[in-house]
């Protein structure tokens, strides 16, 4: 936009400079000068490009990552696979270790053992043995006043507590003639069957009843294929047991994920389209604004191919620089959204970069060549006369 | 470029004419800027509409999958449930009264209640039956009485409820039995053990029943017989008895107020608590509606889904912000380009003696007009877009709140103004001599 005379250079300096740069660098110089001299417009075109690339990168990153992020949220629902011994028997020894090996870092396996025991006044109640450390991570919805920490401490469900009057007093329980005295450590509320049970640590439970776990609840992470692979491994690891998916959890998870991704995709398409249009509008304005340069070059004898190449190179350079800067900014935006919303950053994905790069260059080329096509038909003299 | 003004004109009508002529003569430029505004507004409208509705849509989706509240008799004996099988004798303990159930739809939050399903398990002896002759040994099996999709009426409201509305993961091969029939569903594993197909007959407690379909749930029901509630009551000999009721209700994630005990609240706070769709207040109202009942949230469903939903809502909110940002940028880019192209005009106006204020006023007036036209058209387009998204993703309408219209319009005007401001400032400051010489 500046029409001020260019900076003065001594003739000698110009000659030196020109001697230093071979003839081929003319194109490069024109490109650089065009950007430097019309700083304002070039900057606004670049800004549009960067913002568009950033928004695109952020949306694509989110789209790829949201599934993994939501899956970790869904795993807080609890187990999605149950391993149950057939016909109410116990699972073979070492089953838990084998199951844990089968899950191997892609989730967790928690054992449960159940018996019906009697209180001292003859009330029947279900007593369960489990690993409190594991169950605490598996079933995060359990509302517990305080977790048992010492041996022979019990977690008492709210309904069970009302039925056995366990207000801080030790509970005398008997199972097949064997007695145990339990200290209620805390109350458990879930709104489910757990409310009617008393939970012990598995060690205490086995020492008291001699009954081994009959159920292993498994929370397997990953997409459906991985979950079914885990199920197959579990079936091999624990032969004779029944391995089944918790369908109500798997299906609602699949539904919600599908809908969320579809919504996000629609949003991403809309946003990317808007951003591309913004770039298109700005760049067309920028190129159109330089019809005078175009006319001068043409008047000086530049061929159409050279002109096209010049404007295309300019647009491509803008596209590449904008895409790279935008990619970095977009990664930052995605990471921030991940942190703000999911409390874990969205991981930067390099696989997104080629799409952003190609898309940016394509939009830039399109918006450069569109006005050139219009200008080609106009006589340079007309443009130079300002008509 | 301008015709001489008629002698009678006053400055105001001149201003109006300037704006009018500018729109009439520069159709292409105005169209470009207008398209940008329209598109930006359309995207913003659609995104806001989708983001505000997506939580509710997914919530509804989840609620047809699993119930989040359970109502049981207050004075019930302790359940002895292991692995989904209740070892407590079926006739033990207290029952709810089926006649009270329609009152669920009479509670304050009736519109948030997606559905409910009563359950009554009884133990029965089941044998195969062929050609009217019972075959094989009778085996003890649990028969679960429930509603499939039962039409009910409360006051003037007719509604349909049952497991088909609250237990979305139940699959039936064959047909669902009618609620007033004697037909039953046979659990998948029980059916394969007995070798029964849909349409076969089985003998329950000595009477033959048709198997309408095979039920697959991946849970304990696979080993059970599921029958209309009336049949279970008849077998148990307790007409009107219901063991528990599963209720699906749309709730608001709980906060500090939700967790407080209603007994300790002052009247004003109590009203606020009672009139918010917290799971706690809905269960409180269910207890009020059904005598001698105890309603409780199923924490596994309620608590975890609350988290997932709030994550999705938060995500959509942030994405909407990104969309607003992108469309604001598109609008300001288009406006800046449009104004930049008119430096010559500005130069001419200034050369003719127009002050900075009147030039800026002209541009702002044009921008406002563009914003309003683009805003109205864009709002309509965005509403259509949101509806399309709602229909294709959620199979239901996304409703656009009318209150959104003035908000969107205000945002459009603001963004167009803000986008034009820098360009207008530059245009106004520009030396008319350079502009007229065409040196931009």
Q: pLDDT value at position B362?
A: 84
Residue A303 scores a pLDDT above 60: yes
Q: Do residues B342 and B430 lie in contact, with contact meaning Cβ atoms separated by under 8 Å?
A: no
Distance CA B257, CA A57 (A): 40
- Comparing alpha-carbon positions, the chain B residue that sits nearest to A79 is B300
- Comparing alpha-carbon positions, the chain B residue that sits nearest to A116 is B80
Q: pLDDT value at position B61?
A: 82
Residue A230 scores a pLDDT above 80: yes
Instruction: Output the CA angle B304-A63-A315, nearest 5 degrees.
Output: 160
Query: Could you tell me the two tokens for A102?
Result: 């089968």
CB contact under 8 A, B299 and A143: yes
Residue B4 scores a pLDDT above 60: no
Q: Do residues B246 and B67 lie in contact, with contact meaning Cβ atoms separated by under 8 Å?
A: yes
Q: pLDDT value at position B1?
A: 47
Mean pLDDT of chain A: 82
- Comparing alpha-carbon positions, the chain B residue that sits nearest to A340 is B314
Q: How many CB atoms lie within 10 A of CB A94?
A: 11
With pLDDT > 90 as the criterion, what percentage of chain B qualifies?
A: 18
Domain ranges of chain A: 25-72+256-384, 80-245
Q: pLDDT value at position B144?
A: 92
Asked if the ipTM is above 0.85, the reply is: no
Residues of B in Cβ contact (< 8 Å) with A84? 83
Q: In B235-385, where do the E strands start and end?
A: 241-242, 244-249, 293-297
Distances (CA, A) of B274 to A77, B59, B258, B285: 28, 21, 9, 8
Q: pLDDT value at position B377?
A: 92
User: Residue A75, CB half-sphere, CA atoms under 13 Å: how many?
Assistant: 22
Distances (CA, A) of B225 to A247, B169, B191, B192, B208: 19, 17, 9, 13, 13
Domain ranges of chain B: 11-59+308-437, 67-297
Q: How does strand B133-146 pair with strand B113-130?
A: antiparallel
pLDDT tens digit string along A314-356?
A: 888 889 999 999 999 999 988 888 888 888 888 888 888 999 9
Residues of B in Cβ contact (< 8 Å) with A44? 333, 336
Mean pLDDT of chain B: 83
Nearest alpha carbon to residue A310 among A53, A50, A33: A33
- Tell me the pLDDT band of A21, cut-offs 50, 70 and 90: low
Q: Which among B83, B322, B340 has CB closest to A55?
A: B322
Residue A221 scores a pLDDT above 60: yes
Q: pLDDT value at position A10?
A: 64
**Where is average pLDDT lowest: B49-58, B106-115, B343-352?**
B343-352
Q: Do residues B165 and B114 lie in contact, with contact meaning Cβ atoms separated by under 8 Å?
A: yes
Does the predicted TM-score (pTM) go above 0.90? Answer: no
- Comparing alpha-carbon positions, the chain B residue that sits nearest to A163 is B78
Residue B320 scores a pLDDT above 60: yes
Region B391-416 average pLDDT: 84
Helices of type H across B177-259:
188-194, 229-236
**Distance, in angstroms, between A250 CA and closest chain B CA?**
10
Q: Do residues A311 and A287 lie in contact, with contact meaning Cβ atoms separated by under 8 Å?
A: yes
**Distance, in angstroms, between B310 CA and closest chain A CA?**
9
Instruction: Output the CA angle A208-A214-A218, nearest 5 degrees.
Output: 120
- Tell me the pLDDT band of B183, cut-offs 50, 70 and 90: very high
Region B373-384 average pLDDT: 91
Q: Which among B47, B393, B434 has CB closest to A270?
A: B47
**Distance, in angstroms, between A330 CA and closest chain B CA?**
11
CB contact under 8 A, B300 and A285: no
CB contact under 8 A, A278 and B333: yes
Q: pLDDT value at position A386?
A: 61
B15 Cβ contact partners less than 8 Å away, ≥ 6 residues apart: B358, B361, B362, B365
B131 Cβ contact partners less than 8 Å away, ≥ 6 residues apart: none
CB contact under 8 A, B340 and A285: yes
pLDDT tens digit string along A65-83?
A: 888 888 888 877 788 898 9
- Helix, strand or coil for residue A75? helix
Greater confidence, A155 or A9?
A155
Query: Could you tell me the two tokens for B21?
Result: 């002529």
With pLDDT > 70 as the criterion, what percentage of chain B qualifies?
A: 93
Establish, for the pair of chains A and B, how many residue pairs have beta carbons separated by less than 8 Å: 219
User: DSSP code of B103?
Assistant: G
**Stretch (H or E) spanning B329:** helix B299-340
Q: How does strand B225-228 pair with strand B85-86?
A: unpaired
CB contact under 8 A, B299 and A141: yes
Q: pLDDT value at position B147?
A: 94
CB contact under 8 A, B299 and A62: no
Q: How does strand B157-161 pair with strand B150-154?
A: antiparallel
Distance CA A85, CA A90 (A): 6
pLDDT tens digit string along A169-180?
A: 788 888 888 888
Residue A7 scores a pLDDT above 60: no
CB contact under 8 A, B218 and A141: no
- Helix, strand or coil for residue B240? coil
CB contact under 8 A, B312 and A70: yes
CB contact under 8 A, B79 and A196: yes
Residue A154 sits at φ, ψ, to 5 deg, of: -125, 155
Q: pLDDT value at position A1?
A: 40
Residues of A in Cβ contact (< 8 Å) with B244? none
Q: pLDDT value at position A380?
A: 73
Distance CA A3, CA A1 (A): 6
- Tell me the pLDDT band of A191, cut-offs 50, 70 and 90: confident
Region B80-94 average pLDDT: 76
Residues of A in Cβ contact (< 8 Å) with B219? 246-248
Region B255-283 average pLDDT: 86
Q: pLDDT value at position B413?
A: 87
Q: pLDDT value at position A4?
A: 43
Residue A308 scores a pLDDT above 50: yes
Region B179-203 average pLDDT: 89
Q: pLDDT value at position A314?
A: 84
Residue A2 scores a pLDDT above 50: no
Region A113-138 average pLDDT: 89
Residue B82 scores a pLDDT above 90: no
């Amino acid at each position: 936009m500046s029409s001020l005379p260019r900076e003065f250079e001594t003739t000698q300096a110009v000659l030196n400079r020109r001697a230093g740069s071979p003839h081929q660098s003319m194109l490069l110089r024109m490109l650089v000068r065009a950007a430097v001299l019309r700083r304002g417009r070039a900057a606004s075109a670049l800004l549009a490009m960067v913002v568009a690339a950033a928004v695109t990168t952020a949306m694509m990153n989110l789209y790829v990552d949201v599934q993994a992020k939501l899956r970790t949220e869904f795993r807080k629902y609890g187990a999605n696979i149950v391993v149950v011994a057939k016909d109410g028997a116990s699972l073979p020894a070492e089953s838990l270790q084998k199951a844990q090996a089968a899950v191997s870092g892609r989730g967790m396996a928690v054992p449960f053992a159940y018996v019906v025991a009697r209180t001292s006044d003859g009330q029947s109640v279900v007593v369960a043995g489990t690993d409190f450390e594991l169950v605490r991570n598996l079933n995060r919805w359990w509302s517990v006043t305080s977790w048992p920490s010492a041996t022979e401490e019990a977690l008492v469900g709210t309904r069970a507590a009302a039925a056995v009057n366990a207000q801080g007093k030790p509970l005398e329980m008997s199972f097949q003639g064997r007695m145990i005295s339990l200290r209620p450590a805390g109350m458990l509320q879930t709104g489910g069957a757990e409310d009617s049970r008393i939970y012990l640590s598995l060690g205490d439970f086995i020492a008291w009843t001699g009954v081994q776990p009959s159920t292993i609840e498994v929370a397997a992470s990953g997409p459906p294929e991985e979950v079914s692979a885990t199920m197959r491994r579990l079936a091999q690891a624990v032969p004779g047991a029944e391995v089944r998916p918790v369908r109500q959890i798997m299906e609602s998870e699949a539904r919600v994920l599908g809908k969320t991704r579809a919504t996000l995709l629609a949003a991403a398409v809309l946003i990317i389209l808007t951003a591309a249009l913004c770039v298109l509008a700005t760049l067309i304005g920028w190129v159109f604004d330089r019809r005078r340069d175009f006319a001068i070059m043409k008047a000086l004898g530049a061929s159409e191919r050279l002109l096209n190449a010049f404007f295309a190179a300019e647009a491509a350079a803008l596209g590449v620089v904008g895409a790279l800067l935008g990619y970095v900014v977009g990664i930052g935006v995605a990471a921030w959204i991940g942190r703000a919303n999911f409390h874990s950053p969205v991981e930067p994905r390099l696989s997104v970069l080629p799409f952003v790069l190609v898309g940016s260059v394509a939009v830039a080329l399109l918006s450069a060549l569109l006005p050139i096509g219009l200008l080609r038909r106009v006589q340079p003299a007309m443009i130079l006369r300002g008509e | 470029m301008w015709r001489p003004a008629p002698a009678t004109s006053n400055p105001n009508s001149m201003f109006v004419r300037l704006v009018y002529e500018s729109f009439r003569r520069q159709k292409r430029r105005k169209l470009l800027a207008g398209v940008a505004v329209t598109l930006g507004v359309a995207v913003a409208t659609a995104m806001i509409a989708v983001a505000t509705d997506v939580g509710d849509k997914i919530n509804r989706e989840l609620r047809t999958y699993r119930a989040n509240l359970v109502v049981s008799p207050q004075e019930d004996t302790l359940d002895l449930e292991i692995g989904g099988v209740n070892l407590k004798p079926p006739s033990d303990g207290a029952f709810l009264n089926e006649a009270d159930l329609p009152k669920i739809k009479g509670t304050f939050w009736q519109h948030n209640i997606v559905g409910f399903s009563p359950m009554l398990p009884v133990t029965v002896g089941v044998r195969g039956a062929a050609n009217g002759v019972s075959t094989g040994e009778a085996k003890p099996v649990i028969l679960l009485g429930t509603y499939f999709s039962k039409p009910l009426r409360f006051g003037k409201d007719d509604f349909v409820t049952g497991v088909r509305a609250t237990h979305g993961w139940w699959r039936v091969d064959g047909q669902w039995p009618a609620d007033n029939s004697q037909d039953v569903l046979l659990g998948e594993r029980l059916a394969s053990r007995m070798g029964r197909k849909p349409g076969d007959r089985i003998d329950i407690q000595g009477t033959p029943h048709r198997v309408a379909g095979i039920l697959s749930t991946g849970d304990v029901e696979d080993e059970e017989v599921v029958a209309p509630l009336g049949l279970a009551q008849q077998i148990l000999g307790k007409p009107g008895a219901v063991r528990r009721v599963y209720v699906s209700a749309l709730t608001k994630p709980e906060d500090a107020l939700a967790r407080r005990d209603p007994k300790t609240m002052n009247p004003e706070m109590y009203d606020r608590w009672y009139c918010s769709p917290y799971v706690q207040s809905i269960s409180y109202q269910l207890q009020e509606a059904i005598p001698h009942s105890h309603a409780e949230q199923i924490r596994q469903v309620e608590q975890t889904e609350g988290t997932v939903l709030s994550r999705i809502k938060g995500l959509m909110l942030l994405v909407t912000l990104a969309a607003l940002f992108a469309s604001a940028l598109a609008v300001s880019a288009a406006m800046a380009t449009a104004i930049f192209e008119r430096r010559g005009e500005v130069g001419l106006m200034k050369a003719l003696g127009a002050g900075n204020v009147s030039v800026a006023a002209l541009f702002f007036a044009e921008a406002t007009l563009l914003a309003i036209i683009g805003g109205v058209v864009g709002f309509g387009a965005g509403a259509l877009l949101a509806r399309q998204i709602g229909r294709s993703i959620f199979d239901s309408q996304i409703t656009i709140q009318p209150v959104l219209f003035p908000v969107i319009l205000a945002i459009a005007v603001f963004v167009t103004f803000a986008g034009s401001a820098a360009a207008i400032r530059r245009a106004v400051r520009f030396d008319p001599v350079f502009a007229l010489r065409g040196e931009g």
